[in-house]
Chain A
Amino acid sequence: MNALNLKRLGPGAAILVAAAVVPSIVPRFYTYILAVILITALLAMSLNMVVGHGGLYQFHHGVFYGVGAYTVALMLTKTPLPWWVGFVAGPFTAALMGFLIGLFCVRLNRLYFGMIQISLGSLIWALTFRWYGLTGGDDGIHGIPVPDVLSGVTRSYYVILIVFSVCLFFLYRIYRSPFGTTLRAIRDNPERCAAIGINVRRHQLFAIVIATFFAGVAGVLFVVVEQSVFPDLMFWVLSLEIMIMCLLGGWFTFSGPILGAALMVSLRTFAGVYTEYWTLILGVILILLIFFLPEGIMGYLSTKRKQKNGRRTVE
């Protein structure tokens, strides 16, 4: 078991080490991009926990990301509380919001779940967009006074890397835990899960709370690196973009969303230099994915590997 773990975690550890030395060898801009990738990857993983492993139509995950970010932003700019209070409050507020919205959603299944979530999420977006007095409306809030320890590209990068690694560790634990196993069982067959004594709705709600908590963490990290927030964080297009990342990486896998986020963020950054038709490219990629790679890159690779081993064990 341990040997297997080592083999499985080996590449991950190597990547982490590589990630740790990157800022000292590449230009600042790339470090910044890497930080954005890490944040987006965390966000995508939190979404994938409920969509890919939970089978829930979590259509508006971006809202919780935004709630996390706005909580920090507001606490740092409008209250005299010490900075760390805001950083702790961000994820918890997001999780609370996840709990409240989740309460409505889990009563319904599938598409209705998604619909309710989109409408509740849009309400929050609309409020943020218009409430100039509090949230700065469509301008957002800029120049958020992030404490010195966290400011500067390199330093914030390391903070993000550490937080990301810690979250990754916890997400992996959850993935492998009985909770995660049960969640995947619910995805495959909620009716049967109820028949074997699982309180499906409570389990789903719990999953949403955990996922939104991590989305909140991602939101906090966003503030660390950008020092600003704007309502686009909660716009539904972003929510769907994150979903594409999960799809691209492979949503039945654990690490797929990281790859998906990395590819999407890099593509967007570099395509943005050459063309203003980024969404066109994104749309074409998505269609190609749907037609040719519905299980995503990681999903495809793991199927290939299994065929080679003549063994078929996936979760």
Chain B
Amino acid sequence: MVGLSRAMILFIVSSGMSLVLGVLRVPNIAHGSLYMIGAFSAFSISTLLGGGNAGFWLALFLAPLVVALVSFIVERALFCHLYEREHLMLLLFTFALMLILGDLVKLFWGADYRSIMAPPLLQGSIRILGSPFPKYNIFLLIIGPLVAVGLWLFTNKTKIGKISRAAAVDMEMVGAIGINVSWVFAFTFVLGCFLAGLGGALVSPTISITLGMDHDIIMEAFLIVAIGGLGNMWGALVGSLIFGLTQSLGVLFWPQFAIVFPYAAVVIALTWRPRGILKSVW
């Protein structure tokens, strides 16, 4: 169960990454930094508002928007000029972004550990099948599928969602029918980063917020996207479940090597299906 709720966070973060990867064809290495910014902003906003219910919900709402704003500025100011360039350049750009954002967070918030409390409504735990289970984790289990459904509705039912999906399959075609590809890219990038921020805000009450959380999450998200199938949202869900579950199984059975389990699962999955378990959009 802990694994499941962990998987939900992973899913929210990696679906954002998958989205960007699917359309822009670039693994956004700064994704983890945006996640970290999401968590730190959530901390600042909820502290500013004195904790409590209102503070938390507002933070949950505002923090992803802060992240989206940051990513929008970066995209329009710098990233959008690189779309014509080699892929490796785009990738290295996102790496540069990760380095810069990481240090900016250090400048802003310092290197201390921070934590916020879950809102009173979600504190404590309830009993399921006789074992106690934190309410907040239940909340995550509800939010995860909601985001999945929301994303699905968005990409399948709205016009811009359909465009971005089409762009993932055939960029030139989308350009040919008179759509401004650059703005499709921008929109996808910002949406992907918004999801990173949302993940960061959601995770903030369950862990201590600290520098370095970007490194951990990015590698996990990267691998999840790889096992799921690049750019495939459902793949991100499957990948997250595999990752979260093997991680908690690892903790249960062989704590010392717990972190090895998900990696090994990834290796097995990729050996079995090198292009991801679900079909990649490419």
Contact = CB atoms under 8 A, between A and B. Distances in A.
Q: Tell me if chains A and B make direct contact, with any CB pair below 8 A.
A: yes
Interface of A: 51, 57, 104, 107-108, 110-112, 115-116, 118-120, 122-123, 126-127, 129-132, 236-237, 240, 243-244, 247, 276-277, 279-280, 282-284, 286-287, 290-291, 294
Contacts, number: 115
Given A112-B274, A286-B99, A247 B219 contact: no
Interface residues of B, number: 44
Interface string B93-135: 1011111101110110000000000000000000000000000
B251 interface: no
B223 A118 contact: yes
Contact of B100 (A112, A123, A284): A284
B100 A111 contact: no
Nearest to A130: B257
A232 to B, nearest CB: 11
Interface stretch (B59-67, B174-182, B260-268): B260-268
A119 B223 contact: yes
A129 B259 contact: yes
Contacts of A290: 82, 85, 89, 92-93, 96
Tell me what chain B mostly uses at the interface: helix, strand, loop, or mixed. Answer: helix
Tell me what chain A mostly uses at the interface: helix, strand, loop, or mixed. Answer: helix
Interface of B: 25, 27, 29, 78, 81-82, 85-89, 92-93, 95-100, 102-104, 106-107, 215, 219, 222-223, 225-226, 230, 256-260, 263-264, 266-267, 270-271, 274-275
A279 B99 contact: yes
Given A116-B226, A122-B219, A244 B92 contact: yes
A310 B38 CA distance: 53
Nearest to A288: B96
Nearest to A137: B256
Nearest to B256: A130
A127 B82 contact: no
Given A132-B256, A284-B100, A287-B93, A119 B88 contact: no
A254 B5 CA distance: 50
Contact of B104 (A51, A115, A130, A280): A280
Contact of B78 (A122, A276, A279, A287): A287
Given A244-B92, A283-B100, A236 B263 contact: no
Q: A-B pairs with the 6 shortest C-beta distances?
A: A283-B99, A280-B103, A283-B100, A286-B96, A115-B226, A123-B263
Given A116-B226, A277-B106, A123 B260 contact: yes
B6 to A, nearest CB: 17
A236 B217 CA distance: 13
